């Protein structure tokens, strides 16, 4: 049966929203092209995202390469952790995850075994597909990252990034200086990421090249209270928390204040971005009734994450689809990069008041110590500074050798120092949006076939702020100079930054329907009254209602309508 997915995809293909990529030479699953209308819609959605995260939250956007060196992904764990150990049945040539097979044979922790151990573990395993015994089989890594080499003849490995986040982490120190080393701060990135999925099946939902919009917000681990939390404290969303999932009950509706106070959501930052995400999705036209937030269960959550929620959108075709992930990733990423690089990845956080601390310091008496230990003296002196002295001496370890240094070879100083703050490794709050999934959700929720006088009218109820074509301009008939007036109006609208589409082809009804199908929210029609009274009709896509508007006021009215400042209903009640 032709379900809504097929109808939406058919429309998207036919009218130029989304196409299979490079159909000319045969397309490859997991790659899509955005056609003229799709690219415009995507841009508008991204710009609304920018409005929320850059303009309102104040996290500037950066843009990093999609190709990264191996070091980045060794640090991030993607080079290892993103790889599955696979094997192939020698009889039926089916592929399986080796660790799953091993676990089916009663091996625990198959995931941590080496390739060789796994191969040994599965020799007696029966193939889940054909039932034959595996025997000696090779276990190989399948890494979800696309690999490339950098430079001619170079052995230097490069990877296409599997997420945009790493670019922000690798720029951490410069970002910290840009924000004058004051937590919290954040950066965002919108761009392509790549995952070489084994078998992408679900159209726009699982792609090998996809667009992410990610924010990495660096916060003081001691202060996970969002400075603007009041904005969303009373905002309520549907939460499908761990408890409801385990008890198999429905999502619960809570305000963000309640959810944080009751400990359902780990902190204000997570709650704040849950609410912001809910509002953003509603703004671009995702049905709030078909939006919920699902908390990751403890066993699916990454071990370092404190709390993680997915914004899920209901699709008639795919069920609940993860569109946004919002996680508190703690200092995992920065710690990983600090360990791999020579950067501390910390921010100096001053204390509210300068703290006075007394510090014990051991100063070696080099005049005695030097001659006594000779070549080892410098190292022993350095080790002494860190040592805990006993009553008559201190033990230090130098080059694996334990040396007892008598108390008369050093003096103990007690000094009062002023401590003005501490080096803090921030925690990362990460809202991560799948832009392609947002677009699909919007299209599916906007699609409607309604019956008008026995005819089916196909309408995309796109929000005026994301509709690719914002206004259509028609002469009612192509004579008496009506077309000239309509063309002039089109240019006036275009000059005001409104994407206006002039059309004089065919009957007026057909032109309305054409625009309905691509979601154009408003249509302006020029008729004889335009010449006599100086007014045009403005037609609303959703209600098909019309009002007469003064030609002189038209541009201003439409600018305001397309930006969502006013609605068509406001015009009719005036």
Cα distance between residue 517 and residue 497, in whole Å:
23
Identified binder of RNA from the candidate list 114, 123, 129, 484, rule CB under 7 A: 129
Closest to 434 in 3D by CA, of 36, 31, 46: 46
Among 364-372, 379-387, 397-405, 473-481, the segment contacting RNA (CB under 7 A): 473-481
Q: The dihedral of CA 124, 128, 132, 134: what is its sign?
A: negative
- Span near RNA by CB under 7 A; candidates 25-33, 66-74, 131-139, 152-160: 25-33
Identify whether the C-beta of residue 245 lies closer than 8 Å to the C-beta of residue 294: yes
Peptide bond into 246 cis (omega under 30): no
- Residue count of the chain: 574
Interface region with RNA, contact rule CB under 7 A, candidates 55-63, 65-73, 264-272, 508-516: 508-516
Which of residues 192, 231, 457, 461 is near RNA by CB under 7 A?
A: 457
Indicate whether 456 belongs to the interface with RNA (CB under 7 A).
yes
Q: How far is the CB of 449 from RNA (least distance, A)?
A: 9
Segment near RNA (CB under 7 A); pick from 54-62, 335-343, 406-414, 499-507: 499-507
Taking CB under 7 A as the rule, does residue 92 contact RNA? yes
Please choose, from the candidates 81, 34, 87, the residue with its C-alpha nearest in 3D space to the C-alpha of residue 195.
81
Strand partners, 535: 550
Residue 506 interacts with RNA (CB under 7 A)? yes
Residue 514 interacts with RNA (CB under 7 A)? yes
For residue 48, the minimal CB distance to RNA (Å) is: 22
Give me the 322-341 binding string for RNA, x by CB under 7 A, dash otherwise.
x--x----------------
Residue closer to RNA (CB basis): 442 or 486: 486
For residue 476, state whether it binds RNA (rule: CB under 7 A).
yes
Instruction: Return d(Cα 437, Cα 204) in angstroms, integer.
Output: 7
Q: Is 126 in the site for RNA (CB under 7 A)?
A: no
Note whether 360 and 413 are within 8 A (CB): yes
Per the CB < 8 A criterion, the answer to whether 302 and 247 are in contact is no
Given the complex with RNA, which of 356 and 479 has the nearer CB atom? 479
Q: Which is nearer to RNA, 86 or 119 (CB)?
A: 86
Residue carrying structure tokens 């002494």: 384
Q: Does 230 bind RNA (CB under 7 A)?
A: no
Q: Determine the distance from the C-alpha atom of residue 102 to the mean position of all C-alpha atoms in its chain, rounded to a whole number.
A: 34
Say which DSSP state 551 is in: G
Q: Tokens at residue 235, please?
A: 């905002």
537 interacts with RNA by CB under 7 A: yes
The stretch among 44-52, 260-268, 479-487, 561-569 that binds RNA (CB under 7 A) is: 479-487
Instruction: Output 176 or 189, the one with its CB closest to RNA.
Output: 189
Collapse the DSSP code of 451 into the 3-class scheme (helix H, G, I; strand E, B; otherwise coil) and give the result: strand
For the CB of residue 6, give the shortest distance to RNA in the complex, in Å: 7
Which of 397, 419, 452, 491 touches RNA by CB under 7 A? 452
Closest CA relative to residue 466, chosen from 51, 55, 15, 47: 47
Residue whose C-alpha is closest to residue 571's, from 563, 562, 561: 561
Pairing of strands 291-295, 236-240: parallel
The reply to whether 458 sits near RNA by the rule CB under 7 A is yes
For residue 487, how many other CB atoms are within 10 A of its CB?
15
CA-CA distance, 439 to 178, in Å (whole number)? 33
**Is residue 20 within the footprint of RNA (CB under 7 A)?**
yes
Under the rule (CB under 7 A), what is the footprint of RNA?
10, 13-14, 20, 26-29, 84, 92-97, 100, 128-129, 197-199, 201, 203, 206, 300, 322, 325, 452-453, 455-458, 476-480, 482, 505-510, 512-514, 516-517, 525, 527-529, 536-537, 539, 544-546
């Amino acid at each position: 049966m032709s379900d809504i997915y097929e109808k939406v995809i058919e429309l998207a293909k036919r009218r130029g929203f989304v196409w299979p990529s490079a159909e000319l030479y045969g397309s490859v699953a997991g790659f899509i092209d955005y056609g003229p209308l799709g690219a415009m819609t995507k841009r508008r959605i991204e710009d609304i995202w920018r409005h929320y995260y850059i303009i309102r939250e104040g996290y500037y956007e950066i843009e990093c390469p999609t190709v990264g060196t191996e070091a980045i992904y060794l640090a991030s764990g993607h080079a290892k952790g993103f790889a599955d150990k696979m094997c192939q049945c020698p009889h039926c040539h089916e592929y399986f995850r080796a660790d799953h097979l091993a676990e089916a044979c009663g091996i625990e922790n198959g995931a941590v075994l080496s390739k060789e151990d796994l191969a040994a573990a599965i020799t007696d395993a029966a193939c889940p597909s054909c039932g034959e015994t595996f025997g000696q089989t090779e276990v190989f890594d399948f890494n979800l990252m696309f690999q490339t080499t950098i430079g001619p003849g170079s052995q230097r490995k490069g990877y296409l990034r599997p997420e945009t986040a790493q670019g922000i982490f690798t720029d951490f120190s410069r970002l910290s200086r840009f924000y004058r080393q004051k937590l919290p701060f954040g950066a965002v990135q919108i761009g392509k990421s790549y995952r070489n999925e084994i078998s992408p099946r679900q159209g726009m939902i699982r792609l090998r090249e996809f667009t992410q919009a990610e924010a990495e917000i660096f916060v003081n681990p001691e202060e996970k209270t969002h400075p603007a939390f009041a904005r969303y404290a009373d905002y309520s969303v549907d939460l499908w928390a761990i408890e409801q999932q385990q008890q198999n009950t429905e999502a619960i509706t809570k305000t963000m204040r309640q959810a944080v106070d009751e400990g359902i959501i780990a902190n204000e930052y997570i709650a704040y971005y849950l609410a912001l995400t809910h509002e953003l999705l509603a703004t671009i036209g995702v049905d709030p009734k078909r939006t919920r937030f699902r908390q990751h269960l403890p066993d699916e959550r990454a071990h370092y994450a404190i709390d993680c929620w997915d914004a899920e959108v209901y699709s008639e075709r795919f069920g609940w689809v993860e569109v946004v992930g919002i996680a508190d990733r703690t200092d995992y990423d920065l710690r990983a990069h600090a360990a791999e690089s020579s950067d501390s990845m910390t921010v100096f956080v001053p204390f509210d008041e300068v703290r006075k601390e007394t510090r014990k310091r051991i100063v070696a008496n080099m005049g005695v110590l030097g001659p006594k230990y000779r070549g080892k003296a410098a190292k022993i002196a350095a080790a002494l500074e860190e040592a805990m002295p006993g009553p008559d001496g201190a033990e230090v370890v130098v080059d694996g050798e334990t040396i007892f240094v008598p108390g008369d070879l050093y003096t103990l100083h007690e000094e009062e120092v002023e401590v003005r703050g501490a080096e803090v490794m921030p925690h990362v709050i990460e809202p991560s949006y799948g832009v392609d999934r947002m677009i699909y959700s919007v299209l599916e929720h906007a699609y409607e076939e309604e019956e008008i006088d026995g005819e089916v009218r196909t309408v995309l109820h796109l929000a005026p702020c994301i509709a690719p074509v914002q206004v259509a301009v028609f002469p009612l008939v192509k004579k008496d100079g009506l077309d000239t007036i309509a063309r002039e109006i089109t240019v006036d609208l275009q000059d005001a930054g409104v994407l206006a589409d002039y059309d004089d082809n065919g009957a007026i009804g057909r032109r309305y329907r054409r625009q309905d199908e691509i979601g154009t929210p408003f249509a302006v029609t020029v008729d004889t009254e335009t010449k006599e009274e100086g007014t045009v009709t403005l037609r609303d896509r959703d209600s098909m209602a019309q009002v007469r508007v003064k030609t002189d006021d038209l541009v201003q009215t439409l600018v305001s309508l397309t930006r969502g400042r006013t609605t068509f209903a406001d015009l009719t009640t005036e």
